[in-house]
Amino acid sequence: MPSPRAALAALLVAALAAACDTQPEPVPAARTASEARASFEVPPPLSSIAVPVPAPPPAPAHRPRARVALDDKAMGTHILLAAYTDDTFDEGALRGKFDKALAEIRRLEALMTTWRDDSEISRINAAAGKAAVAVSPETLAVIEKSLWISGRSEGLFDITFEAMHGLWKFDEDLEEKIPSMAAVAKARQLIDYRKIKVDHDARTVMLERAGMRMSLGGIAKGYAVDAAARVLREEGLTAFFVQAGGDLFVAGRKPEGVPFRVGVRDPRGRDANDYFAMLEVEDHAFSTAGDYERGFIKDGRRYHHIIDPRTGFPATASRSVTIWAKDAFTADAIDDAVFILGPEKGLALVESLDDTGAVIVDEHNKVWISARLKDRLHVLREPTDGI
């Protein structure tokens, strides 16, 4: 028989077993010994925790490229400025910049026109044979460039041809009238660029003989085109073109990255858009002088505004001259001179100048191309023949 102490111990064991008849829950797998230790470790800094970042907003769509142009009149001719919109400049911004460029052209016109009595050129003419006239830096620059090309062209470009004013009428006052030989001979006595006296330091200009007159109509438009281009560059534009009549400057390339193409007009073609050749132009000027612009045909002969100072009559050696040059000022200065000189002497002048080329249609309709344009010009067909 068990002792009283042993019986008591057995009773206690039985009672404990009855109280714990439910099996203990196993430790979850995530709470293994190693993970339990890790749960008590110091958490890593926030900078090393991968935090979900929202996706960036989609990039804004590029503004569609659209051509914007300003058409107007100034300096007695048609003015065209054009460029393409981009992500920086919309149409409104471009038009504002065009307005500034046009205002610059008109400012220069007011200085150099002969159609206003208060212009600097008109004041020089009024003081011919009497006194020197103070002029602006711009007018002085154009007159000095004129004298430069006069010297290079054997005097065949001469801004004192304005002595012929009233004898030949090719502008808004167009009159199909041929002046007498006597009247032409008398006026020719007043054509002489060497009698233009310039004091660069004092910035004055004087015509030595009474009755002399000058006009910058054959060169000022090129200067104005360059001035307008400078305004557009200062306004942040890198691709555009500026045109004043036959004078054009092209900056940069078209939006698709290809150069602008400019047409060489057929001098006997149907209209201004009838081209016999094309030329790619980038950061260069393009100027054309033609006998078709202002003139008339009488008794089977064409009379036009490009006067040969040797005869006092319209020049006959060329039908058209197109100049390609680094700036419009140079191109405009050269085209009339080359036109009067004719193809052989004219091309010699062109080849003597840096970064300059020419396309000439002579009096017999033959096309002459300078060395620098041989591989650039795309000839589409022969020019049309005719008077």
SS3 track for 84-126: ECCCCCCHHHHHHHHHHHHHHHHHHHHHHCCCCCCCHHHHHHH
Alpha-helical segments (H) within 173-284:
181-188, 220-234
Longest dimension (CA), the chain: 172
290 in Cβ contact with 317 (< 8 Å) = no
Quote the CA–CA distance of 143 and 219 in Å, as a whole number: 9
Q: What percent of the chain has pLDDT over 70?
A: 84
Query: Would 148 be classed as within a structural domain?
Result: yes
Query: Would 31 be classed as within a structural domain?
Result: no
Check residue 53 and give its pLDDT.
Answer: 59
Q: Identify the weakest region by mean pLDDT among 164-168, 176-180, 313-317.
A: 164-168
Query: Would 165 be classed as within a structural domain?
Result: yes
Q: Which residues contact 296 (CB under 8 A, 6 or more apart)?
A: 174, 176, 302, 303
Q: Per DSSP, what are the bridge partners of residue 265?
A: 275
Number of structural domains, the chain?
1
Whether the pLDDT of residue 60 is over 90: the answer is: no
**List of long-range contacts for 47-50, beta carbons under 8 Å, 24+ apart:** none
Query: Would 163 be classed as within a structural domain?
Result: yes
The average pLDDT across 35-53 equals 45
pTM: 0.82
138 in Cβ contact with 326 (< 8 Å) = no
Check residue 132 and give its pLDDT.
Answer: 98
260 in Cβ contact with 280 (< 8 Å) = yes
Query: Would 384 be classed as within a structural domain?
Result: no
Query: Would 319 be classed as within a structural domain?
Result: no
> Which residues span the domain enclosing 169?
127-213
321 in Cβ contact with 335 (< 8 Å) = yes
Check residue 293 and give its pLDDT.
Answer: 87
Check residue 126 and give its pLDDT.
Answer: 98
Whether the pLDDT of residue 9 is over 80: the answer is: no
Task: For residue 320, give both structure tokens.
Answer: 């058209």
Check residue 61 and give its pLDDT.
Answer: 58
> pLDDT tens digit string along 306-358?
999 999 999 999 999 999 999 999 999 999 999 999 999 999 999 999 999 99
> pLDDT tens digit string along 183-193?
999 999 999 99
Structure-token match 């041929």, residue found: 178
Query: 142: domain CATH number?
Result: 1.10.3980.10
Query: Would 379 be classed as within a structural domain?
Result: no
> pLDDT tens digit string along 242-280?
999 999 999 999 999 999 999 999 999 999 999 999 999
Query: Would 274 be classed as within a structural domain?
Result: no
**Residue 130: C-alpha distances to residues 31, 159, 189, 207 (Å):** 113, 19, 18, 8
